[in-house]
Structure 1
Amino acid sequence: MAYRAAPIKIAKHVSSLLKGRLLKEPPVWLPVVQSIPPGPSVIRSQNEEINVSGQTDIEKKLFSTHKTTNRQRYSQKHLRTPPPRPRAIVYPEDKLRKQFYKDHPFELARPKVLVENELGINRTDYSKLMLDGMHPSQIDGEAVIKYQLHLMTHENMTERQAYAKATAEFYEIRAQQEEEERKAKEKMNNALNNLQSKRKWTERGIYLEERALREGQIADAQF
């Protein structure tokens, strides 16, 4: 196995080889290694005396004191700059919506009409709670809230007055809707009862016909 000298002894080992005339010419790297000898390990350690930052001693002192003062300044919580936060997006309908659904929680359970027309989702005219051509089932809580806001902005009503007027009209529309649903249900029940009564007479006719056929068969068997 060949001799492997430590990195720091390479220059001395090559010099001894030259003196013993085992090497005819010195290597090109020998003067460099003699002037800048390698460390004891292949991994060179950082020299603390070398100024890598390029700052003078006075500049280092100034920057070090500046950092400590900043750290002390922001160490206290009440002096810290609060992080930037987006502003809350608030609409005037939010307060009205909160009050309405607090008084009418069951309106949230009603099915909502999702028809995109002038009387549905894209409705912009709230001069009246129920426009011409609308069905009472199309009036929901959001329509009442928009109508209340219209009364406050265009008719200069207070929030309480607009709420009282909007809810009063809303109750009338709901009563009208319930009356129509009651009549439709009653009409449907009457139609079902008529069908059931007709079915009874039909079943009775079939029964009489079958009985007559059986009696006829018995009479034929006797002859």
Structure 2
Amino acid sequence: MVRQHHIRPARVLQTAHAVLQNPLLKNIPAPVWVKALEQVTPAEIRTRPYLPQHQPLDPRAKKPRNLYKPTKLTFPEDKLRREFYRDHPWELARPMMVLETNGMDARFRDWSTGVRQPGMKLSGECVVQRQMWLMENQGLSKEQAYDTARREFYKLRHQEEIDARIAVEEARMVGAYFGKTLLQVGVEIEGHQYENWKSWATREITMSKSSSDSALSPSELAQGPDKPALEDMLEEAAVPV
């Protein structure tokens, strides 16, 4: 159930004037706040304004809907961003700056020079803006502009990786230590999980073996556990299905 707006509090001045005009209350002085409210009236209206619509209304609709719902703002760059980050999902893992210094950073960008812009970190937004400039100024199609911008982006990203690798090698030559790489950390975690699984599998196989030995005869139990058979069961369990 939609709760309606109460407009009676907004008409308190009109209500006070109507009450004071009653002949029975002519000897009663008006409240002090009435004069103040006459001089400084409330500026806010209580009615909800009808928001401007950016899309034409459906003529088949009998009853208008969502009149007070803000319209969804869409920009041409939105589709280009979705396409780029769909093809390059790992670019979202890179830290990016989402705030501007003074709100006029776009004035210092010249996308005719390429993807790299001064004061802006290389990211997917550079590809999107470069693609938009190529489509609007050089008349390229979306696919052609996307390929051109991606080619420039790949070249610069590859150069960044080479520079970072050279910097690490030079730092190690003078004694710097960077710790373990992500690959080494992943291998250690995987090995630790494998050892935990191996110990758990050994206990499960031992319990299964003991439960099966309880049904054997005393002469068979005197032979002791079959160690090679246990190792074979572990090897079979380690083979992925």
TM-score band, normalised by the shorter chain?
0.3 to 0.5
Structure with bigger helix share is: 1
Using the size of structure 1 for normalisation, the TM-score is 0.45
Higher Rg of the two aligned structures: 1
